[in-house]
Structure 1
């Protein structure tokens, strides 16, 4: 019988293992019944187009594992005792298809599904420019270091140690307590720490403990739709709290709440950092109105663009704060390990709630994570990620400033891995996202983060999902999509030409703002050189040259705009100068005066 599986020669899985997997699938689906004779290694090799030795090795492993038995001078046969495991397994491939149709009306017994956003595209990695936060390109994962930690955790003495643990691994708790928490200004005893299956599990446990029927839970606006769904499922009421560039705005509406959920390090989804003044104000409000504060510090170790603020749990008044965090986001998709910090009686209740569902995170993962931390790999990884994410954020900021300087605005960031972007009035983000996808670019729409009507023209860009060398071409492709959708062609103010162009620009002072709101001043000196300074303290400086070629004004910076030559038509009307690029589109503008 010809086997009904094919080999994927581009796969990371060896051909021998693919043959083993294919044979086991045929056995479990009852395509090959107990006692069925397998094709000879020669026949199987010819059918699959592989060397006979490849099939022989696969068959030997199948025999060693008990899936197949040998009979002298008769060949290989499916083992008979596997039939026991198959009885009653209607979900196995090939059996469910033959089962009678089930006409039970489940819809009468099921509650309405929660209103959650659609999942991201499963094939996002096939797009050249996926600007999606929370998805990771494989270069970020510390494969060799994690392999070493996992290997150490699987030594026999280690297995004996962690296999008997019925709760949290003391080794991992100690690593978190002594190496991660002190960096956030938190000092905790072991019984004040609980391990979870990632940050989302910790959020669920927090709401299970503190949200009852009739509870009012303050959630950031915009914020996670999953949190709103969890509150609704427990009979609570969501009280949206507005967010601006300094994070959640503590206001009088918090007085009527029981719990407030806050993401202070990098607000999810805008990336704003809660200012130190607002952290203190929120803690004071919590004390006055007897609020429980759940501090979701999911990006606590990515404040690489500015000085860090302490966690609210470690501040004065932090005893009423339940702290949530996890290991680095790049580890989270595969590891799913987080932790909570609170007073010991709170942790004791949370531990009992956890026992009702998952009991504990897998002990082998706990021990591997403990080894990863103890060997210093976690600190090394975080330093590397800090450098990489900083470079990517700056590359994204510079690319946006280069290609879309007047079309969009972003808020200043202290770090993190996202940019919250506001487009021009009238931009249809749904159409824009579709046009971007046609150009190979994925952006994130943000309507689902809002409990109420979202502001227009907002979208989100992430940097974890593509390497730095693809950021600039990705924004160039995004700009093409933007121009197609926005149709931002220039009005026809007077275009300067020839001598008038040079006279107008020579000795001019240009004042504008970067896309992240910082002031920028450029001086065009009569000798053809130019100087630029940006920032509130002129911390970003560059020099370059300018010239005219016919009716085009040209410039080249040393570092800004990638040090490349750019050429524009120039229009001046009143005290404003506009640079007009290809297809008569305005690419930038500034106030113009004499230096």
Structure 2
């Protein structure tokens, strides 16, 4: 009997080749496209003959021809497999530098799309193989407490009683996780919220899209920081909203530049994305006063609030809010892991109720088993210990980076910041960060190009994230960057 997981083949239509050669073409195309795994047995002659409606002798002849060509090998009593030499050649011929597969002729597209206007993430898929990946929003995997997470997963999967994650939670969230957020993360930021004022999301990006859908009002616009977070632009555009950029200075978002007729203002006050400046307390109060006077709500993305290494942490906007004007958005991507994809939003219960309904239409709820595991990670103290370790390690890297940039890249303007996991640099007139990025990629260095974050065209800035690069490589990578910057400036 044929296995349910065996490979299914179809002969090419309207081929002028004989049956044997059609089978050879079909199998070889599957090999070169990477559709066949080297450790998986190909269908036997009898199985493939039944699939294709041809004789076993025809399949046998085709397999032998592929063996003669060096594409297949026959293993005694095991069957036919891809030759190991073939797999090695395919790996060498793949575009490993860019992390993408070579272009294939897949025929004409069945549909024509216009420009989406969305901003994609352009980092190579194999960015971890670069010697100096100074790209943002990544974490050092060696700092993740695997054993602690494994213990929490084991406890969450315990069947001593019926686990909560075995039922369909409809649109509800894990009460254990909500409780841990209320008692630990939110109070840490001066936020006191009831259970019905919190919604679990699949990270900040998901939260922003839900908010954009809640407030998809064509008559009013959303004000966003410029430069700012491209993911916010994508979320608001995709949810049918119009937005306008507001300038950022050394105190954060320029409140005086917020236009009339705004329904929402999106800001990242703890560490502005991407310049990393921290919004001053006076500016925060000014923004809250403006929200009442101009009748708009504030979306506070409390990005990297935990990573302030030198001064006492600034209070969140939500902690100052006396008028239910702030929608607070947080994520566990930077402090736990990006792959876990959990975040949360805090707002007035009426907003959360509408957001919960919209989330339910999108995907019911984030996986309950992950919520339960994260709740245990908090409750057993693993999160607090992990966060202290991150703060200690990242502070050391920040100091090394700051010294290396001051020493080797003093020809560039550096935005002053008090923490976080990246630095924002800006060149003089005529400097092009895209040219720099192209040159650095050939040297094994990846950087974030600044123009990605601007609504206006600005090519002079770039960002260096250091969370993934090891301490020993930080200054070495900065020296490589400095050499290329000097050549461009000359």
Q: Normalising by structure 1, what TM-score?
A: 0.64
Counterpart contact for 2:191–2:319, Cα < 8 Å: yes
Structure 2: how far apart are the matches of 1:291 and 1:187? Answer: 22
Alignment of 1:362 with 2:367, yes or no, is yes
Relative to structure 1, the CA distance from residue 468 to residue 414 in structure 2 (aligned partners, 3 Å threshold; closer, same or farther) is same
For the residue of structure 1 that corresponds to 2:164, the secondary structure is: helix
Counterpart contact for 2:38–2:82, Cα < 8 Å: no
Structure 1: how far apart are the matches of 2:140 and 2:43? Answer: 34
For the residue of structure 2 that corresponds to 1:23, the secondary structure is: coil
Relative to structure 1, the CA distance from residue 103 to residue 426 in structure 2 (aligned partners, 3 Å threshold; closer, same or farther) is closer
Structure 1: how far apart are the matches of 2:259 and 2:232? Answer: 17
Alignment of 1:143-182 (within 5 A): 143-157=146-160, 160-166=163-169, 167-182=172-187
Alignment of 1:173-572 (within 5 A): 173-251=178-256, 253-317=258-322, 319-405=324-410, 407-454=411-458, 456-487=459-490
Alignment match, 2:119: 116
Name whichever of 224-233 and 342-351 sits farther off: 224-233
Listed one character per residue, the Cα deviations across residues 3-29 of structure 1 (whole Å, up to 9, x for unaligned) are 99xxxxxxxxxxxxxx999438869xx
Alignment of 1:23 with 2:40, yes or no, is yes
Structure 2: how far apart are the matches of 1:410 and 1:243? Answer: 15
Listed one character per residue, the Cα deviations across residues 30-88 of structure 1 (whole Å, up to 9, x for unaligned) are 86979x9xx999755998999xxxxxxxxxxxxxxxxxxxxxxxxxxxxxxxxxxxxxx
Structure 2: how far apart are the matches of 1:253 and 1:417? Answer: 28
Counterpart contact for 1:216–1:258, Cα < 8 Å: yes
Counterpart contact for 1:169–1:367, Cα < 8 Å: yes
For the residue of structure 1 that corresponds to 2:300, the secondary structure is: strand
Structure 2: how far apart are the matches of 1:105 and 1:443? Answer: 36
Counterpart contact for 1:195–1:361, Cα < 8 Å: yes
Structure 2: how far apart are the matches of 1:114 and 1:191? Answer: 35
Structure 2: how far apart are the matches of 1:184 and 1:291? Answer: 23
Query: Going by fraction, where is strand more abundant, 1 or 2?
Result: 1
Counterpart contact for 2:333–2:339, Cα < 8 Å: no
Listed one character per residue, the Cα deviations across residues 461-481 of structure 1 (whole Å, up to 9, x for unaligned) are 001121111101111111222
Q: Report the CA distance between 1:300 and its aligned residue.
A: 2.2
Alignment of 1:136 with 2:153, yes or no, is no
Q: Report the CA distance between 1:267 and its aligned residue.
A: 1.0
Counterpart contact for 2:205–2:232, Cα < 8 Å: no
Counterpart contact for 2:335–2:387, Cα < 8 Å: no
Relative to structure 1, the CA distance from residue 410 to residue 345 in structure 2 (aligned partners, 3 Å threshold; closer, same or farther) is same
Counterpart contact for 1:436–1:482, Cα < 8 Å: no
For the residue of structure 2 that corresponds to 1:339, the secondary structure is: strand
**Runs (5+) with no aligned partner, structure 2:** 1-5, 8-35, 52-58, 60-72, 85-103
Listed one character per residue, the Cα deviations across residues 248-269 of structure 1 (whole Å, up to 9, x for unaligned) are 0101534331110111111111
RMSD in angstroms over aligned alpha carbons? 3.1
Structure 1: how far apart are the matches of 2:355 and 2:221? Answer: 20
Alignment match, 1:536: none
Alignment match, 1:512: none
Relative to structure 1, the CA distance from residue 20 to residue 478 in structure 2 (aligned partners, 3 Å threshold; closer, same or farther) is closer
Structure 1: how far apart are the matches of 2:176 and 2:327? Answer: 22
Name whichever of 295-304 and 364-373 sits farther off: 295-304
Counterpart contact for 1:294–1:324, Cα < 8 Å: yes
For the residue of structure 2 that corresponds to 1:274, the secondary structure is: coil
Alignment match, 2:18: none
Higher relative contact order (CA 8 A, sep 6+): 2
Counterpart contact for 1:152–1:158, Cα < 8 Å: no
For the residue of structure 2 that corresponds to 1:357, the secondary structure is: helix
For the residue of structure 2 that corresponds to 1:361, the secondary structure is: coil
Counterpart contact for 1:300–1:325, Cα < 8 Å: no
Q: Report the CA distance between 1:237 and its aligned residue.
A: 2.4
Listed one character per residue, the Cα deviations across residues 396-440 of structure 1 (whole Å, up to 9, x for unaligned) are 0111122233x1121221211111101233322222112222222
For the residue of structure 1 that corresponds to 2:125, the secondary structure is: coil
Structure 1: how far apart are the matches of 2:245 and 2:212? Answer: 16
For the residue of structure 2 that corresponds to 1:243, the secondary structure is: strand
